[in-house]
Amino acid sequence: MQYVLGQHLGSGSGSLNPYDLSLDLQFATDKTLTARKGPKPTFTRASSATFVGSNGLIQSVAIDTPRFDHDPVTLACRGLLIEEQRQNLVFPSATLTTQTRTVPATAHTLSFYGTGTVVLSGVHSATVVGTGAYPTRTTLTFTPTAGSLTLTVTGTVEYAQLEAGSFATSYIPTTTTALTRSADVCSIAGADFSGFYNQSEGTMLIQFSGIMPINYSGNRSFIAISDGSYANYLLLGKNPSNANTVGLVVRNSTAQVSIAQAGYAPDVINKMAMGVATNDVAVVRNGSLSLDTTVVLPSNLSVLRFYDPNASGGGQPSGHIQYFRYYKKRLPDAKLQALTA
């Protein structure tokens, strides 16, 4: 494997690792947090959660267990599932019955499987007709006024979820009360971080797909390397409130690089890379290259996170990470384009 990788990245020097690959995480292919090269990330989540297994069915995992989610139709692994915290307000969720819930005046999303009907009344009016059994999921995003929302159910309405948020997340089973799925937290810090990271130059390469809609506010980073204070960081992810991805370099709370590239959409694969060195930063998405040659890099970075709840007014992303690689050298522009094409 090292020889093949060296040939793929070779620069004619004969080296098996000319760009000093120091972290190689293949989540979708290997379905594990164990790295092919470099340290294993730490993963926590303070609740159980569900995902689609390799058999195409919804399955549950325990607290602090990562989820390697699959397409329910093709059965292809979509990668490591990272989601923000959400609460399912309706119960019992397996077979929904008519009920009334108190909701705030924020965006909510109703989702379910089956061909039944849910009529919303009270603080919001709508009729939602199911479009089919699992894996066909019917969803409606709406913003009620604050107060009592009644859901009148007829027919088959299964695996139902009502959550505060502008998109549907993974199913949260309930029985007799509302339940919360905690946020997924995946990171590398301490000696493991310093062992693979180079403060003076480097390249990060990630492939991800977001669940979040285009207009989801705030920078939502799928990879962030920071000093933990969010005054200094490197970030690749979704741009706030539009259909762009973003690459950011921030030093002492001042943006050194802020490069937005068009093309973000939910469930669309993004291949992104950022190569950094002093006065030499490249951000690449799906082969499209943008450069910045007046950059002072942040120093003393200390943690890698596959999320970033605070940086630049953003929050926890929701989506899938297929792979991540880190190189201790700043890869040439042509190589960055080839790796992300």
The total of other beta-carbon atoms located within 10 Å of residue 267's CB is 11
pLDDT grade, residue 230 (50/70/90)? confident
pLDDT of residue 297: 97
Q: Locate 7 and state its tokens.
A: 């040939």
pLDDT of residue 243: 87
- Among candidate residues 76, 137, 147, 92, the one with its CA nearest the CA of residue 111: 137
Cβ-Cβ contacts under 8 Å for 98 (sequence gap 6 or more) = 150, 151, 152, 153
pLDDT tens digits along 101-110 = 999 999 999 9
Question: What is the rounded distance in angstroms from the CA atom of residue 291 to the CA atom of residue 332?
Answer: 12
Question: What is the rounded distance in angstroms from the CA atom of residue 119 to the CA atom of residue 98?
Answer: 9
**Mean pLDDT for the stretch of residues 203-209:** 98
pLDDT tens digits along 246-275 = 999 999 999 999 999 998 999 999 999 999
**Mean pLDDT for the stretch of residues 217-233:** 87
Are the beta carbons of 30 and 36 closer than 8 angstroms?
yes
**Mean pLDDT for the stretch of residues 285-295:** 96
pLDDT of residue 242: 83
pTM of the model: 0.93
Domain at 2-42+185-340: CATH code? 2.60.120.200
pLDDT of residue 14: 54
The region of weakest confidence among 26-35, 169-178, 257-266 is 257-266
pLDDT of residue 143: 98
3-state SS assignment for residue 212: coil
- 292 pLDDT above the threshold of 90: yes
Top pLDDT among 48 and 217 is at: 48
Residue 91 amino acid letter:
F
pLDDT tens digits along 120-148 = 999 999 999 999 999 999 999 999 999 99
| 63 burial via Cβ count (<10 Å: 0-12, 13-18, 19+) | exposed
Establish whether domains 2-42+185-340 and 86-181 are of one fold: yes
pLDDT grade, residue 229 (50/70/90)? confident
Considering the domain 86-181, what is its CATH architecture?
Answer: Sandwich (2.60)
Cα atoms in the Cβ-side hemisphere of radius 13 Å centred on 109: 16
pLDDT of residue 241: 73
**Mean pLDDT for the stretch of residues 88-112:** 98
pLDDT of residue 11: 41
pLDDT of residue 5: 41
pLDDT tens digits along 238-252 = 987 788 999 999 999
Task: Give the start-to-end residue ranges of the domains of the chain.
Answer: 2-42+185-340, 49-82, 86-181
pLDDT of residue 307: 81
Are the beta carbons of 60 and 48 closer than 8 angstroms?
yes
pLDDT grade, residue 4 (50/70/90)? very low
- 279 pLDDT above the threshold of 80: yes
- 164 pLDDT above the threshold of 90: yes
pLDDT tens digits along 296-311 = 999 999 999 998 655 4
Percent of the chain whose predicted confidence (pLDDT) is above 70: 94
β-strand 147-154 against 117-122: which pairing, if any? antiparallel
pLDDT grade, residue 314 (50/70/90)? low
Are the beta carbons of 143 and 106 closer than 8 angstroms?
yes
For all residues of the chain together, what is the average pLDDT? Answer: 93
pLDDT grade, residue 10 (50/70/90)? very low
Peptide bond preceding 240: is omega within 30 degrees of 0, i.e. cis?
no
